[in-house]
Amino acid sequence: MRPIAITLSIASIWVLLDFLNTSFFGFLQVSPFIASIYWLSGVRIVAVILFGWLGVIGLIVGYFIGGVYIRGFNPQDAIILGILSALAPMIAYKTWQKINDIKDDFDGVSFYELISLVLLYSFIVTSFRGSYFFLTGRPSDPYNLALIFSSNVLGAIIMMYLIKYGQLLYRKI
């Protein structure tokens, strides 16, 4: 029962944040599938780091629901982009751990190592989304790929700093 609760919680949080993102940060949208800063990319990394495969499944479910009911995507786009976008942080995280010999406890992880995780994740998600856009006849030129990459890098860094400073504020309270 606990794995289902975790998965549904992650999906619910994703849908809520997606709604807030489109409601308050819609001005950052460049196209239906690309934002100039996509701060939810940091949520993906955190969900995978904290909950592993349950995080991946929760992200897929949340992306599908938010994609169809908030953003108006067709179900095929929502499920495929949800799967690709949720697998990217898992692949990046596991690869990053192996390359840097880092365990799940994050003891001694430097700022530069964290940035390397964000860059690796952003490269993978850009590759996945760019490939899907190419295969479906959507714009996948270098400009759009650069936008996807930079929006994920900026968004992940912003979200991680918000989490870090939120944690520091919580400790002081």
**From first to last of its 173 residues, what are the pLDDT tens digits of the chain?**
899 999 999 999 999 999 998 888 888 888 777 888 888 999 999 999 999 999 999 999 999 999 999 999 999 999 999 999 999 999 999 999 999 988 876 667 788 888 999 999 999 999 999 999 999 999 889 999 999 999 999 999 988 788 777 777 878 87
The DSSP output letter for 155 is H
The H helix count followed by the E strand count for the chain is: 5, 2
How close are the terminal C-alpha atoms of the chain, in Å?
33
Where do we find the tokens 């890098």? Answer: 153
Domain count of the fold of the chain: 1
Q: Are strands 29-31 and 34-35 parallel, antiparallel or unpaired?
A: antiparallel
Q: The pTM is what? A: 0.90
CB 89 within 8 A of CB 38: no
Read off the tokens for 90: 């898992």
CATH at 121: 1.10.1760
Domain of residue 26 covers: 2-172
